[in-house]
Structure 1
């Protein structure tokens, strides 16, 4: 579909076939290109040497500097990098870390947003992932030394530290009655309650869902409990798959989840039930990095530089180095090919346009809806002009996506 788009006051003011007269004389030629809403990454720890829990990575010492000036300088570089990859809405995501250190990190993020208001639209909030994991067996690449008992006092401290922009809290349902009560209370406050790194049973998962649980953390990773036995109804995985109230995060790098499972999840939940995330780590964009230390754990970059893993393990992954434009490219190639599933015999090939719509829904529309951002996430008059101009062509390995321009709140910044 060919359209012309008008932008005024940072919002989409016209969307249709007619030529829109420019009031400023600024015209961006986009013939033959694709226009999408900006990516919204709700699960992003950092990139380019920045980690929002630990600070600025120093290669020379294989250590992080947790100091205000270095932290905020590294954050600025990371945000510019995110924008260059098409992210127009971002939730910085915490790891398990010493509580006082987390408070400092969030305070520095709050200060940064106040000092540089031009970044507030992009740096839209915080996702608290690692602090309230209960069972070390489901720690993944989170350090159990800094798992804490959840409680409103702790959460309120974190909320105050970040400037009241805490958007998501990971609260594994095996905390029992406490999890149910906190889920209910946080949901009333407009905070999305998620569950991952969890050993919860199906029954515990359903109790949390009834209380307001809305999100599955990097689904099929973490790990979280799954069981095909009837005892307790199964695991948290089964509860989340069966509930239409729960959206599922999917890391679409091709390593965290086999593409066949991605297609299976989409067939079961529908495109509206899945949110594509990066789970990006500080190592993204650091050329030549082969090993690292983070949060008291040792990590390694895969031989091909495609993924991160916990050192000494065969397949325990350590976040990702995925960017959302690469995630879009992966989804286009997976969705436009017929594919044998694991639980489904055969998934049909979609047209490029159908695949592009599904992928955009997962990367932009669904995360905006989850967070209650009514003015973001889709191309509609009156919504924020967070736009991506892309060239999509055929390469030797399938579709290739190239970002041509990034528009944030009506201003072309890339």
Structure 2
């Protein structure tokens, strides 16, 4: 397939008028308008001046369309992956909740089996799993079930990692909750990215964790201490630890636009990762749903726990978060795209195949109209 007459988002994070030549499920060549080759006899898709960007990568979300990753069902995971691909999110690393250990192992085994059995261009690629719990803080549990919180346990992590067949890419910790937290981080960091997640750590404790090997932060600002002038907390420690990549939920509910803009300036766009943190109500009407076994009420874009009113994930997919970042939060489109494509690909260590439009990489391409509405999704070289 040849995709012509588009503005191609390049690895330099700029748009260039031209097109792409695909070879099966890979990108063969990118050309500029001035280099346009002779296409006689070839299948050509006229992009009509659309933006051509890489398929998005969501490395932290829970579900959509009535299904949740933690349902532990291959059928549910397939439906989730199909919905995500349909909106332009072509690679996914869904997140677990804080469930009983045996339930988590079942979820991880199911994902491993699904990964081995599934090769469907209509479905987003399962490229990892983000374990948000169970090694978190009850003080900052958010929508997690406190009954299932555990201290850091290397032997248990080994079981998680084995059950997933190595699909676990992130493990969250609240370093203040376990005496062995720093040892745990050092023991697992060569196999998995360790995240600061649902933590009430102060600045010094968070910095110790970062020095021990933490390189990721789960939904910055949410489920962690406030960032203030005398107590910079986890946010300050993340800023001072240049190796740490930071997730941020930009659904227009979780974080004020001014804070988003300030954070991009403070951290640098190369460290920011857009996530949706979407739950099973995404793509569904208002009503009552569940998340991690807890009841959640959804009204518009707001999802809250029925029990205490805490924000319970989002009901916005990553493509809509991208639009919100650009249209409502004034982040440049070229920057926002990188934070939803190549940055998560680097954190997942899959940037050799995903995250940018380059020869040899997967032909996961999304065409967006000038108003950023979805025009076309191409997955593995096929138009969905």
Aligned residue for 1:118, secondary structure, equals: coil
Q: TM-score, normalised by structure 1?
A: 0.83
Deviations 1:4-35 (A, max 9, x none): 21111422221122234569832111131001
Q: Work out the CA distance in 2 between the residues paired with 1:245 and 1:24.
A: 49
Deviations 1:327-357 (A, max 9, x none): 1211111354xxxxxxxxxxxxx7xxxx111
Aligned residue for 2:367, secondary structure, equals: strand
Q: Work out the CA distance in 1 between the residues paired with 2:174 and 2:40.
A: 52
Q: 2:321 aligns with which of 323, 327, 346?
A: 327
Q: 2:301 aligns with which of 297, 303, 306?
A: 306
- Going from structure 1 to structure 2, the CA distance change for 1:146 and 1:21 (only over 3 Å counts) comes to farther
Matched, 1:15 2:18: no
Aligned to 2:349: 372
Give the CA deviation at 1:142: 0.3
Matched, 1:239 2:216: no
Superposed, 1:193-212 pairs within 5 Å as 193-212=194-213
Q: Work out the CA distance in 1 between the residues paired with 2:40 and 2:150.
A: 55
- Going from structure 1 to structure 2, the CA distance change for 1:270 and 1:384 (only over 3 Å counts) comes to same
Q: 2:262 aligns with which of 261, 264, 283?
A: 264
Q: Work out the CA distance in 1 between the residues paired with 2:186 and 2:160.
A: 18
Matched, 1:3 2:4: no
- Going from structure 1 to structure 2, the CA distance change for 1:297 and 1:385 (only over 3 Å counts) comes to same
Aligned to 1:340: none
Of the structure 1 ranges 249-258 and 180-189, higher mean CA displacement relative to structure 2 is found in 180-189
Q: Work out the CA distance in 2 between the residues paired with 1:27 and 1:311.
A: 51
Superposed, 1:6-405 pairs within 5 Å as 6-17=21-32, 18-20=35-37, 25-55=42-72, 71-118=73-120, 122-133=125-136, 135-175=137-177, 178-189=180-191, 191-221=192-222, 223-226=223-226, 228=228, 230=230, 234-287=232-285, 289-302=286-299, 305-314=300-309, 316-336=310-330, 355-375=332-352, 376-393=354-371, 401-405=372-376
Deviations 1:85-110 (A, max 9, x none): 11111001100111111111221222
- Going from structure 1 to structure 2, the CA distance change for 1:15 and 1:143 (only over 3 Å counts) comes to same
- How many residues align? The count is 365
Give the CA deviation at 1:227: 5.6
> Tell me, which stretches of 5 or more residues in structure 2 are unaligned?
1-15
Aligned to 2:3: none
Q: Work out the CA distance in 2 between the residues paired with 1:171 and 1:381.
A: 38
Q: Work out the CA distance in 2 between the residues paired with 1:100 and 1:281.
A: 22
Aligned residue for 1:3, secondary structure, equals: strand
- Going from structure 1 to structure 2, the CA distance change for 1:36 and 1:177 (only over 3 Å counts) comes to same
CA contact (8 A) 2:260 2:329 kept: no
Q: Work out the CA distance in 1 between the residues paired with 2:333 and 2:350.
A: 22
Aligned to 1:398: none
Aligned residue for 1:174, secondary structure, equals: helix
Deviations 1:299-350 (A, max 9, x none): 1112xx2120112545x210111112211211111354xxxxxxxxxxxxx7
> Tell me, which stretches of 5 or more residues in structure 1 are unaligned?
56-70, 337-349, 394-400
Aligned residue for 1:309, secondary structure, equals: strand
CA contact (8 A) 1:226 1:238 kept: no
Q: Work out the CA distance in 1 between the residues paired with 2:120 and 2:41.
A: 21
- Going from structure 1 to structure 2, the CA distance change for 1:374 and 1:78 (only over 3 Å counts) comes to closer
CA contact (8 A) 1:54 1:295 kept: no
Q: Work out the CA distance in 1 between the residues paired with 2:87 and 2:336.
A: 16
- Going from structure 1 to structure 2, the CA distance change for 1:34 and 1:101 (only over 3 Å counts) comes to same
Q: TM-score, normalised by structure 2?
A: 0.89
Deviations 1:347-396 (A, max 9, x none): xxx7xxxx111011111111011122232211222222211111122xxx
CA contact (8 A) 2:59 2:344 kept: yes
